[in-house]
Amino acid sequence: MNDSTQSPAAQPQDVWPEEIRLSKAKDRLEIRFDDGAHFSLSAELLRVESPSAEVQGHGAGQKTTPVGKQDILISSIEPVGNYAIRIGFSDGHNTGLFSWPLLYDYALRQDQLMGDYLARLDAAGARRK
């Protein structure tokens, strides 16, 4: 689900968030960038694509596929310097630092990322719940 009014000239490394909000249900991160783009990212996507070593691994080919995250919630959001946020999830995971360019990139590619995740789950014989 991508609600974008993104400028075609915008590059993820050049963006800055103007507003970051957690949905009332705590299942979506709403973010508006200074180029006018507005996105809504699911907690599930953010959790399964967390930039942490636990999810991404320590090198090429080490990415894991977290299972059972369909109903995950965001439990906390804290700033990290002026370049990122740390998101805490209802399963206790909180080690990923989500930079502004990374969030923008995830927002632009969320349909692709979710499709890839679902394919990995299917290949592993695992489920979202």
Q: Convert the pLDDT of each residue in 32-56 to its tens digit.
A: 999 999 999 999 999 999 999 888 9
The domain that contains 45 carries what CATH number?
3.30.2020.30
Q: What is the tally of structural domains in the chain? A: 1
Assigned domain for 2 exists: no
What pLDDT score was predicted for residue 1? 43
Dihedral sign from CA coordinates of 99, 101, 104, 108 = negative
Q: Residue 47: which domain range?
A: 12-124
Query: Would you say the pTM of this structure is higher than 0.95?
Result: no
What pLDDT score was predicted for residue 62? 84
Q: Is the pLDDT of residue 86 over 60?
A: yes
Picking from 106, 104, 69, the residue whose alpha carbon sits closest to that of residue 90 is 69
Q: Average pLDDT for residues 112-122, to the nearest whole number? A: 96
